[in-house]
């Protein structure tokens, strides 16, 4: 046992009630460290390299200011948004995050129960620690218990697998399980691993397939280029192939280039998530919010743009919408809340963020999402 492990206290168990001092996403982040093993906390919080992109993702919101319009008529105001003909109660989704059981024993089941209670779509990761079918069934069961006609729309995030048939099987499983949107992640095919999963946590959707391992790389001095790992990375041909494979809407996640946005549109994408993978893959990447106006100009309204990275306040959501996003996704905060208070924590975190957004809309005189535009920003 290392000196660090000997000195580290046991993580606190999840809270069974929400204390009065938990009033913001930042409060959850501060508390979460005590509820997670030190190596898990570092894994969740870390970014690539010197973490310049990680810091920029947050700073991109802080440097923008709002210009409110006074005396707006707010009767009938709503934060509803329609994506692919599916209603979302607010333009806030839970981003795909791997291995929720690192934060809580119930893992993704706790998260989907919270998301269903708050009418929020959860984008389920290929690397979920609970099978995708069980998560979808939990959503339907939660909706029945809450007497809702149906759970929020179900989205599944797809990592292309080295064997194309395995990728096709994941798509078929998602369709059969009732997922309504496919999120094709393209920006994390080659990244450093460096994190060993603890016992009892695994990629539940992939447990019966062998992956590409370091042992399969050539022993001729090559590091990454020219190895099976990079040879298996997705290309535009994979997007075209996916388009022939499924009728589900395909959202391409992980684009920052306006040229790539135009190509994605041409190749059959139905939407784009502007993202640098939370600053976790390559340091020095542009911040998504900074790229959003150019991305919006590139697609010219032909398909929705979503955005993730650094969202911590309702005003952050408002700023993203003002620059052209149709919705945003929240990543790390869901894990902070899950670690602190399980299902209740995630539900409370979502309530805080949506309440902050609605307050910001009211204070800036924007009764609907369609009323939010760039004139809101100084």
Q: Domain coordinates of the chain in residue numbers?
A: 20-65+77-189+233-376
Residues forming a β-bridge with 183: 157, 251
pLDDT at 220 over 90: no
The one catalytic residue among 43, 104, 277, 348: 277
Range list of H helices, 8-107 = 25-32, 38-45, 52-62
pLDDT band at residue 233 under the 50/70/90 scheme: confident
CATH architecture of the domain with range 20-65+77-189+233-376? Alpha-Beta Barrel (3.20)
Cα 276–278–282 angle (5° rounding)?
A: 55
Q: Give residue 214's pLDDT.
A: 38
pLDDT band at residue 210 under the 50/70/90 scheme: low
| 275-312 residue pLDDT tens | 999 999 899 999 999 999 999 999 999 999 999 999 99
Residues forming a β-bridge with 82: 87
Residues with Cβ within 8 Å of 190's Cβ and at least 6 positions away in sequence, in order, are: 224, 229, 230, 233
| 314-358 residue pLDDT tens | 999 999 999 999 999 999 999 999 999 999 999 999 999 999 999
pLDDT at 272 over 60: yes
Q: Give residue 365's pLDDT.
A: 97
Q: Give residue 234's pLDDT.
A: 83
Specify whether the CB–CB gap between 339 and 22 falls below 8 A: no
Range with top average pLDDT, 156-170, 233-247, 338-352:
338-352
Q: Give residue 208's pLDDT.
A: 82
> Higher confidence at residue 124 or residue 218?
124
β-bridge pairing 250-255 and 181-185:
parallel
> What integer is the mean pLDDT of 134-159?
97
pLDDT band at residue 8 under the 50/70/90 scheme: low
pLDDT at 213 over 50: no
Crossing angle of helices 132-145 and 108-117, in 10° steps, is 40
Q: Give residue 269's pLDDT.
A: 96
Q: What does the buried/exposed string (b/e) look like for 69-86 if buried means 16 or more CB atoms within 10 Å of the residue's CB?
A: eeebeeeeeebebebeee
Largest distance between two CA atoms of the chain: 70
Query: Does the annotation count 277 as an active-site position?
Result: yes
Say how far apart CA 25 and CA 350 lie, in whole Å. 9
pLDDT band at residue 1 under the 50/70/90 scheme: very low
pLDDT at 227 over 50: no
Say how far apart CA 273 and CA 305 lie, in whole Å. 6
């Amino acid at each position: 046992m290392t000196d660090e492990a000997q000195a580290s206290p046991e993580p606190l168990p999840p809270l069974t009630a929400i204390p009065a001092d938990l009033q913001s996403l930042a409060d959850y982040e501060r508390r979460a460290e005590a509820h997670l093993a030190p190596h898990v906390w570092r894994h969740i919080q870390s970014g690539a390299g010197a973490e310049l992109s990680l810091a920029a993702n947050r700073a991109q919101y802080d440097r923008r200011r709002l210009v409110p319009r006074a005396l707006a008529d707010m009767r009938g105001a709503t934060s509803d948004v329609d994506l692919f003909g599916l209603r979302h109660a607010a333009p806030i989704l839970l981003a795909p995050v791997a291995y929720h059981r690192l934060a809580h024993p119930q893992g993704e089941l706790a998260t989907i129960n919270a998301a269903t209670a708050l009418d929020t779509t959860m984008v389920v990761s290929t690397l979920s620690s609970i099978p995708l079918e069980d998560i979808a069934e939990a959503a339907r069961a939660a909706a029945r218990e809450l007497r809702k006609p149906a759970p929020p729309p179900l989205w599944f995030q797809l990592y292309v697998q080295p064997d194309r048939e395995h990728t096709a099987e994941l798509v078929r499983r998602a369709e059969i399980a009732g997922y309504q949107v496919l999120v094709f992640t393209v920006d994390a095919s080659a990244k450093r691993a460096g994190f060993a999963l603890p016992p009892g946590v695994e990629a539940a959707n992939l447990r019966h397939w062998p992956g590409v391992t370091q042992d399969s790389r050539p022993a001729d001095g090559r590091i990454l280029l020219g190895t099976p790992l990079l040879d298996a990375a997705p290309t535009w041909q994979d997007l075209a192939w996916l388009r022939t494979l499924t009728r589900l809407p395909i959202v391409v996640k992980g684009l920052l280039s306006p040229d790539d946005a135009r190509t994605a549109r041409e190749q059959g994408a139905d939407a784009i998530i502007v993202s640098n993978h939370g600053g976790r893959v390559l340091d020095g990447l542009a911040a998504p919010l900074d790229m959003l106006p150019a991305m919006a100009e590139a697609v010219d309204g032909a398909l929705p743009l979503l955005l993730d990275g650094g969202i911590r306040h309702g005003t952050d959501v408002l700023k993203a919408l003002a620059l052209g996003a149709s919705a945003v996704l929240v990543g790390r905060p869901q894990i902070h809340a899950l670690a602190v208070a399980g299902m209740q924590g995630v539900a409370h975190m979502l309530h805080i963020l949506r309440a902050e957004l609605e307050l910001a809309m009211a204070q800036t005189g924007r009764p609907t999402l369609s009323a939010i535009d760039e004139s809101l920003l100084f």
